[in-house]
Structure 1
Amino acid sequence: MEKKKVIVGLSGGVDSSVTAAILLEQGYEVEALFMRNWDSNLNNDILGNKLDEEVCPQEKDYLDALEVAKKLNIKIHRVDFIKEYWDYVFEHFVSEYKKGRTPNPDILCNKYIKFDKFLDYAINDLKADYIAMGHYAGVRFDKDKNTYELIRGLDKEKDQSYFLCQLNQKQLSKTLFPLQKFQKSEIRKIAKKYDLITAEKKDSTGICFIGERDFTNFLQNYISNQPGDIIDIKSNKKIGTHIGVMYYTIGQRKGLNLGGQKEPYYVAKKDIINKIIYVAPASDETFLESKSCIVEEFNFISNYEIYFKSNKFQCSAKFRYRQKDIKVEVEVISNNKIKITYQEPVRAVTEGQEAVLYINEICLGGGVIDKVLKI
């Protein structure tokens, strides 16, 4: 039999490195593809950037990816999606912050770059049968339901199905996730077994493909300061000032610079039009609680009618990564709009973030939280 060809998204990290090694063990023809999606000079990335580093972190990642490919004796390609990342991910990211919302660029990056532009390039230009990524998640084809399902990674601490909730049937049919059944500790051991340069490398943090930044300063590259008042939501009195509503998130405590108060405060509400941040004392978290939310742009990975007999059903949800599952009732309002009602009030559900639905280990899909409701 002819070997199936897989293109691995080799990022220069340990997870993608071991993904390539496992696929080789499984008998696939493996090649690697390194993506470059951000150019600090081209994208005016000055404020908040560590400009004193000898080697750009992205180039360091590429050098590590080269070493891994060399060690595993696989061919490595390199491609730039800088314009695509800007057009499909970053412009939306900035636009949402301007509206005072808190977007999730990793989800958009997966939807439009890794599993779209990368996938097309791998299939059409490199003649691959599949692509593979180092995510802690899995793909399963259910023959009875005739559908591809996205399932959680077994390592509960590392499960990344939340970030993959916008994928569709076509994307899943062409994707392999070899790390689904592994714990992170096992991945490190495999990397050491193959003597890979990434075995002890720290996991990347920060914005997808941009990396670690002083976030407020970074945003000021693209959104000018818009100072305003900080108001105590209970007394309606001004207790401070800020440099821009968009730089703060609901529930945030650090960075408010409210000296001389009896107790810490958190961000309870944002008024982007009037440039006001409303804060509440930490001893009273009722302002963070909501009972339901409206979710737009919802992507059902499989038709929900495969699993449920009505447009109202019960399942579990996450409103941020690593949050424990929350029991909810869902009402499908239209093709891509749903209402989620929680069994108990939930803290800090935030407009612009992603609501992701699950039935046990199956990820049903996700969408953007548009309105947070107190009722």
Structure 2
Amino acid sequence: MKKRVILGMSGGVDSSVAALLLKEAGYEVIGIFMKNWEEKDEYGVCTATEDANDARRVASQLNIPFYTINFEKEYWDRVFSYFLDEYKKGRTPNPDVMCNQEIKFNAFLDYALKLDADYIAMGHYARVKEIDGKYYLLRGIDKNKDQSYFLSRIDQKALSKTLFPIGHLTKKEVRKIAEEHNLYTAHKKDSTGICFIGERDDFDKFLDEYLLTKEGDIVNVDGGKIGRHTGLIHYTLGQRRGIGIGGIGTGEPWFVAGKDLKNNILYVAQGENHPALYSISLIGEPPKWIIGNAPDMPLKCTAKFRYRQKDIPVTVNILDNGELYIKYDYPVKAVTPGQVAVLYQDEICLGGSIIKSIEPLDEKYKFINPTWAY
């Protein structure tokens, strides 16, 4: 009897090829499109509907059943509300990580198991390996497309039931397979938007629809008011573009260095190597360990503090309250509270911790982030 796999189909080439490979491997494949967000663009078109139609066309090509399931309430309650709350705190959240944790590998998994699925599958560039009854998350073979960062907070229950059919392939190979089989999505452009919120030309305008903003002062970390900001939610640490203070000072670019929520101040520093932009350690919220328990401490490993970042050597310790203290081997620029510190041991993704606070390279710049505990 064939094993049943419920595949999340996004309407993109990756999940399309995943469907093809699963069918060729002899599984009973059922494609499901997760509808988590609905909003029409400026032309009155809902991009989720377009993506669902693309997924349906591929399912028809492959002669597999296809359905759409609505997770809008779950997404709002578990992901989008969190997203807004983080911005209110002055942090910069990563909803893609939370979408995987709460929707794709939680709500979707529970739904699939009710359909007597043996596995769920996704078109992610990642791999799963079972060792002595434990399930490990490994990076995807394609280092440029590896998505283990976004999967760093899923648990053993999910991994034990998950297949990543394209994790051993490069993007180029995936495209080639799609072209060879004339899949409808073979030449479809990759999505670069936030998980199920999509690509937006004016993300600030989008945030303003849900959160109140208040103008305030832009202050140079080395002294002096130099402009006005449009609302602290519109800025993130390390940001260069869109600050609106060009032509001041030495002529070098300005970067966001910190936020003072209480006094509604945006702190900026001039020059891409200004010491105020760097930190030497961070405190992370209690982590999600993928294998369910913490490694031995202190832990020497590598970390990524944002997607596509080069691995950074770190030393990790667990504090008495369960939070992580992560010390970098060298100063790192623009480590941002609200993002996820993802830990790796070579190819293995150990888990992820939401960044709570950062320790500046130079103590004299502690004032630029007064709402974050050190």
Return the TM-score normalized by structure 1.
0.93
Match of 2:113 in 1: 123
Please state how far the C-alpha of 1:193 moved relative to its aligned partner. 1.6
In structure 2, distance between residues paired with 1:268 and 1:159: 29
Look up the SS of the partner of 2:2 in the other structure: coil
The question of 1:137 aligning with 2:126 is answered yes
Contact 1:102 1:351 (C-alpha < 8 Å) held by counterparts: yes
- Aligned counterpart in structure 2 of residue 85 of structure 1, from 67, 75, 93: 75
- Aligned counterpart in structure 1 of residue 323 of structure 2, from 319, 337, 342: 337
Identity %: 54
Look up the SS of the partner of 2:16 in the other structure: helix
Please state how far the C-alpha of 1:179 moved relative to its aligned partner. 1.0
In structure 2, distance between residues paired with 1:335 and 1:113: 28
Match of 1:231 in 2: 219
Q: Provide structure 2 residue ranges, at least 5 long, that are not aligned to the other structure.
A: 362-374
For 1:28, the aligned partner's letter is Y
Match of 1:186 in 2: 173
Match of 2:43 in 1: 52
Match of 2:51 in 1: 61
Residues 364, 334 of structure 1: alpha-carbon distance in 2 compared, 3 angstrom cutoff: farther
In structure 2, distance between residues paired with 1:272 and 1:207: 25
Match of 1:216 in 2: 204
Please provide the CA RMSD for this pair: 1.4
Please state how far the C-alpha of 1:264 moved relative to its aligned partner. 1.7
For 1:355, the aligned partner's letter is A
Please state how far the C-alpha of 1:50 moved relative to its aligned partner. 3.4
**What CA deviation, in whole Å up to 9, does each residue of 1:179-204 have, x standing for no partner?**
11100000001111221110000111
Contact 1:246 1:272 (C-alpha < 8 Å) held by counterparts: no
For 2:345, the aligned partner's letter is I
Please state how far the C-alpha of 1:333 moved relative to its aligned partner. 2.1
Match of 1:44 in 2: none
Equivalences for 1:132-281 in 2 at 5 Å? Answer: 132-143=121-132, 146-213=133-200, 214-234=202-222, 236-261=223-248, 262-281=251-270
Contact 2:38 2:48 (C-alpha < 8 Å) held by counterparts: no
Look up the SS of the partner of 1:83 in the other structure: helix
Return the TM-score normalized by structure 2.
0.93
For 1:52, the aligned partner's letter is Y
Look up the SS of the partner of 2:233 in the other structure: helix
In structure 2, distance between residues paired with 1:138 and 1:335: 32
**What CA deviation, in whole Å up to 9, does each residue of 1:230-252 have, x standing for no partner?**
01111x21111011011100010
Question: More displaced, 336-345 or 319-328?
Answer: 336-345
Please state how far the C-alpha of 1:352 moved relative to its aligned partner. 0.5
For 2:252, the aligned partner's letter is E
Q: Provide structure 1 residue ranges, at least 5 long, that are not aligned to the other structure.
A: 41-48
In structure 2, distance between residues paired with 1:283 and 1:344: 17
In structure 2, distance between residues paired with 1:354 and 1:252: 17
Look up the SS of the partner of 1:69 in the other structure: helix
In structure 2, distance between residues paired with 1:159 and 1:337: 27
In structure 2, distance between residues paired with 1:366 and 1:27: 34
For 2:306, the aligned partner's letter is R
Look up the SS of the partner of 2:102 in the other structure: helix
Match of 1:8 in 2: 7
In structure 2, distance between residues paired with 1:6 and 1:247: 41
In structure 2, distance between residues paired with 1:240 and 1:335: 40
For 2:18, the aligned partner's letter is T
Residues 3, 155 of structure 1: alpha-carbon distance in 2 compared, 3 angstrom cutoff: same
Please state how far the C-alpha of 1:335 moved relative to its aligned partner. 7.8
In structure 2, distance between residues paired with 1:11 and 1:152: 21
Contact 1:12 1:63 (C-alpha < 8 Å) held by counterparts: yes
Please state how far the C-alpha of 1:302 moved relative to its aligned partner. 1.5
In structure 2, distance between residues paired with 1:78 and 1:283: 46
Match of 1:288 in 2: 277
Look up the SS of the partner of 2:319 in the other structure: strand
Equivalenced residue count is 358
Runs of 4+ in 1 over 6 A off after TM superposition: none
In structure 2, distance between residues paired with 1:79 and 1:151: 29
The question of 1:106 aligning with 2:88 is answered no
Contact 1:7 1:33 (C-alpha < 8 Å) held by counterparts: yes
- Aligned counterpart in structure 2 of residue 374 of structure 1, from 336, 360, 374: 360
Please state how far the C-alpha of 1:152 moved relative to its aligned partner. 0.3
Please state how far the C-alpha of 1:260 moved relative to its aligned partner. 3.0
In structure 2, distance between residues paired with 1:116 and 1:334: 29
In structure 2, distance between residues paired with 1:76 and 1:339: 46
The question of 1:30 aligning with 2:19 is answered no
Please state how far the C-alpha of 1:285 moved relative to its aligned partner. 2.2
